[in-house]
A and B are shown apart, each in its own frame.
Chain A
Amino acid sequence: MLEKAITGSKNYWGWLAFLLAVIIAGVLAYLVQYNKGLMITGMSRDVSWGFYIAQFTFLVGVAASAVMLVLPFYLHNYKDFGRITIMGEFLAISAVTMCLLFIIVDLGKPMRALNMILHPTPNSILFWDMIVLNGYLAINLVVGWVVLSSERKQLPPPGWIKPIIYLSIPWAVSIHTVTAFLYCGLPGRGFWLTAILAPRFLASAFASGPSVLILLSLLVRKLTKFDPGKEAIQSLAKIVTYAIILNLFFLSLEFFTVFYSQIPSHMTHLQYLFAGYHGYGALVPFMWASMICGLLAIALLINPRTRKKEPVLGVAAVLVFICTWIDKGMGMISGGFVPNPLHEITEYSPTPLELTITVGVYAVGIFILTILYKVAVGVKEEIGDFKPGDVAPSH
């Protein structure tokens, strides 16, 4: 099927060339980091994780969201998603790849990464994160490819794939739960030390991932002959609506517990993020922008009339993306480190080189996504599946 990716329009090749250029810029920036060390980043003794780990955390959520297509289709026989589960699975492959790359670029000694396998340590959550992330990547590669191949042949997928598909559902939940456990099991980091971190991560995942899928669906419909279908997009919109509301609800629970209990070690981080602390407040405008985007999105999504207008839905999806990206990609990680365990304040902001590497990793992910979507859409076009109902579902 991969041959579908090597024929395409000028725009397609131009887009790939552009991504390649960005990737090369990222690789060059990474070479500088590799030679000089992480000194080229804005990280510090106090804020020892920065943009890389934040992007990793955000993208684990995007990856997990494939389950929002797989579950309704395979467990509830929701037919409208049957045609586009592949879009979720391929998005997951791209997102997990970015996650793994972000971990690698964050390591001080990347050449020793395999020490994690040479000296396996089950009491470390990072060990389990390695297992669930790589497992999730493998599951989605196998499931996506096998199901799409069967679809191409207009045959039902082989029986052995079903258990793997069912496995992918709890597995998707596990990747974000384990990722939350990285943070919420640490004593002395009051911001993360909360049992609701994993549910919050999942809620924000099921808001951000499906909103990316809505945008991708609109884009695919515009650029190719394949239409993911109005109904499917609307169903995704409902998922996003529930999830973004839950996400902000969980955040408000956090606010209540923290500010009603008035325990300083838990309070200071939220104060720093939303109001500034002892004169430091680099993230305050971003956090409020995130809140406003989230609330605006809810207003647009909760009203059926606006939600059903696709251009408006597109705007709402962008707002959800911005809301969740700022929350996880900016506030979640450095917010936990400021103030530090000694109640001292060191702020963090990424350097240009750090951002170049970050954008480079994103470009790798988008490159993979482009190729995979090209293959998927190519198969759909080949079998004449243009609109919902064109082809009798084979699975």
Chain B
Amino acid sequence: MAVNRREFIKIAGLSAALGLGGKAAFDLVLPGQVDAAQMSRPPQALQGSHWAMVVDLKKFKSEADAMALQEICHQAHNVPTIPGKQEIKWIWPTKFEHAFTHLENRQIPPDILETPVLVLCNHCENPPCVRVCPTKATFKRESDGIVIMDMHRCIGCRFCMAACPYGARSFNFADPRNYFKDGKLPNPDYPTRTKGVVEKCNFCAERLAVGKLPACVEAAKDGQLIFGDLNDPRSEVRKTLRTNYSIRRKPDLGTQPSVYYLV
């Protein structure tokens, strides 16, 4: 940094005192210590403007297939296994009738009804959780469409859990670290959460930033999960959605999920 930032702030404060600028006055009250020019995106980050996922239900043979992917995700993000109804889960298999409550149809072929459906945060285009959050702890990244959480800011009011129509969110009723054996974390490169905050799938924002696909997608076999940029017509997701009929969860609510299912 060429200019000593303390000097800069002194100058800014002086100019504010002299009425030279609103922005400078703001800096004086809430000094942003770091110059934004010093910070940038990592060059190896995957580029996309609307990340989306396609789940191909035909490729899931058994619940074990789906559980394996949950295991991968929960290991990658240090999601604890908590017994009982205060559990935490980012991605999990459920039955067709639970995943697609709006598609009630007793005549659906039994093999489809029995197929485990992986459900996760839908990273909605119009997310109700973001609308209700009183601190912007949950927000939608304008650059790539991921609905993500700022765990530092969450006050644990759980309004987002009431707002989410997909049950995608979990709350840390207890300190999650109590649930790892001998304090050993599955992935020491990733933090845990603290008691009292909400959490959910983040589309592996931390992996996208270093050029990797989401952990579940990387581990998925035979095109079970397809991930890509919905705004890129040449992307794998767009190609797949162009040639296959897809469904989404509760489309009638207008949330516009970014997770699509092939039946």
Contacts and interface: CB of A to CB of B under 8 A. Distances in A.
A341 interface: yes
A114 to B, nearest CB: 9
A265 B85 CA distance: 22
A41 B156 CA distance: 14
Chain A interface residue number, banded = 35 or more
A37 B255 contact: no
Interface string A222-265: 00000000000000000000000000000000000000000011
Contact of A45 (B87, B162, B195): B87
Given A36-B174, A37-B174, A343-B98, A126 B164 contact: no
Interface stretch (A76-84, A105-113, A132-140, A298-306): A105-113
B163 interface: yes
B97 interface: yes
Nearest to A333: B162
B174 A188 contact: no
A125 B157 CA distance: 12
B163 A186 contact: yes
B241 interface: no
Nearest to A348: B85
Contacts of B170: 45
Given A37-B173, A188-B165, A182 B159 contact: yes
Contacts of A127: 134
Contact of B85 (A118, A336, A346): A346
A392 interface: no
B174 A343 contact: no
A49 B156 contact: no
Contacts of A182: 159
Contacts of B250: 187-188, 341
Interface stretch (B56-64, B70-78, B125-133): B125-133
A277 to B, nearest CB: 14
Contacts, number: 145
B128 A187 contact: yes
A119 B136 contact: yes
B174 A342 contact: no
Contacts of B132: 124-126, 185-186
A235 B121 CA distance: 53
Contacts of B194: 109
A186 B127 CA distance: 11
Interface in B67-118: 84-89, 94, 97-99, 101, 104
B101 A343 contact: yes
A394 interface: no
Contact of B86 (A45, A107, A264, A340): A45
Nearest to A38: B173
28 contacts: A37-B172, A38-B156, A38-B171, A39-B173, A45-B87, A45-B88, A45-B89, A48-B162, A103-B157, A106-B158, A107-B196, A108-B157, A109-B156, A113-B155, A115-B137, A115-B153, A124-B131, A124-B133, A127-B134, A186-B165, A187-B255, A188-B250, A188-B253, A265-B101, A340-B167, A341-B165, A342-B94, A342-B167
Interface of A: 36-39, 41, 43-46, 48-49, 103, 106-110, 112-113, 115-116, 118-119, 121, 123-127, 130, 182-183, 185-189, 264-265, 336-337, 340-344, 346
Given A341-B166, A341-B167, A342-B119, 5 more contacts: A116-B135, A118-B135, A264-B104, A265-B101, A337-B162
Interface of B: 84-89, 94, 97-99, 101, 104, 119, 128, 131-137, 153-159, 161-167, 170-175, 194-198, 250, 253-255
